[in-house]
């Protein structure tokens, strides 16, 4: 099985921390953000496709062509046009079912395994008491994703947010990419997947996350450090 990790961005909210290296190379609890994802991948993943951009050569220099027996292939995202745009850069290399992960965040190995075990398509979701900066994931009575309501329409209400952990297959690429919001140049993977699932009549399941550390700014690195240290004790 293949895993696509989206690692092209600089991470502007990190300030000077990303002046000399990309965000995914920042360290938490003794490992880079990328290594946290590599180590959470299940044994059935034998190939990692890294979508790189800002200072991508530093990533390739560190990891080369493999990590603990898993092959690594690098694909450049020369224009940062959203998460769907990032995934589409690697479509020529993908076959069958595959994982997609955000390069910034830290995921639980059990959550990744449960997404893979889910039939058809899946997206990891996290229950939030107040949704302010993410889209609210709407599901039906069978746990299938039917819509995403963007943050400006939520008003801080509680609900589910996507973790940017997905399982798809190559049927996704038969459908057009969808903007994150009307008129936006950013092509959203969740929006694209929902539209594709409806058009192709593919169930797209929400899988509740039990462990997810969203890394947006420098303060999130400090929080993640404490959480991971506590878990290790």
CATH number at residue 204: 3.90.550.10
| pLDDT(182) > 90 | no
Q: What is the pLDDT of residues 125-148, one digit of tens each?
A: 999 887 766 778 999 999 999 998
Please name the residues in contact with 211: beta carbons below 8 A apart, sequence gap of 6 or more. Answer: 106, 107, 108, 110, 111
Contacts of 24 (CB under 8 A, 6+ apart): 5, 7, 11, 32, 33, 34, 59, 103, 104
CA 49 → CA 45, 86, 91, 98, distances in Å?
Answer: 11, 11, 10, 10
pLDDT of residue 183: 84
Name the phi and psi angles at 99, rounded to 5: -90, 150
- Number of domains present in the structure of the chain: 1
Q: How many CA atoms lie within 13 A of 3 on its CB side?
A: 28
* pLDDT score, position 81: 92
Q: Is the pLDDT of residue 45 over 80?
A: yes
Note the pLDDT of residue 133: 67
Which residues span the domain enclosing 179? 2-232
* Confidence (pLDDT) at 156: 65
pLDDT at 149 over 90: no
Q: In this predicted model, which residue has the larger pLDDT, 91 or 152? A: 91
Average predicted confidence (pLDDT) for the chain: 92
Res. 83: pLDDT tops 70: yes
The whole-model pTM stands at 0.94
pLDDT 10s digits, 191-212:
999 999 999 999 999 999 999 9
Whether 233 shows a pLDDT value over 80: the answer reads: no
The token pair at 109 is 């190995």
State which H helix or E strand residue 73 sits in: strand 70-76
pLDDT at 152 over 90: no
123 — pLDDT class (breaks 50, 70, 90): very high
């Amino acid at each position: 099985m293949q895993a696509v990790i989206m690692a092209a961005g600089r991470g502007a909210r990190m300030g000077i921390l990303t002046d000399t290296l990309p965000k995914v190379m920042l360290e938490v609890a003794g490992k880079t953000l990328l290594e946290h994802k590599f180590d959470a991948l299940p044994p059935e993943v034998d190939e990692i496709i890294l979508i790189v951009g800002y200072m991508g050569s530093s990533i390739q220099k560190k990891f080369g062509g493999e990590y603990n027996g898993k092959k690594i292939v690098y694909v450049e995202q020369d224009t940062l046009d959203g998460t769907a745009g990032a995934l589409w850069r690697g479509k020529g290399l993908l076959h069958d079912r595959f994982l997609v992960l955000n390069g910034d965040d830290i995921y639980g190995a059990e959550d990744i395994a449960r997404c893979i075990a889910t039939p058809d398509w899946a997206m990891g979701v996290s229950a939030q008491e107040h949704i302010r900066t993410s889209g609210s994931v709407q599901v039906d009575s069978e746990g299938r994703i039917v819509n995403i309501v963007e943050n400006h329409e939520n008003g801080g209400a509680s609900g589910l947010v996507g973790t940017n952990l997905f399982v798809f297959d190559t049927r996704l690429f038969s459908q057009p990419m969808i903007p994150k919001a009307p008129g936006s140049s950013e092509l959203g993977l969740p929006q694209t997947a929902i539209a594709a699932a409806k058009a192709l009549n593919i169930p797209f399941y929400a899988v509740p996350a039990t462990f997810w550390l969203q890394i947006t700014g420098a303060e999130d690195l400090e929080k993640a450090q404490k959480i991971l240290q506590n878990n290790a004790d």
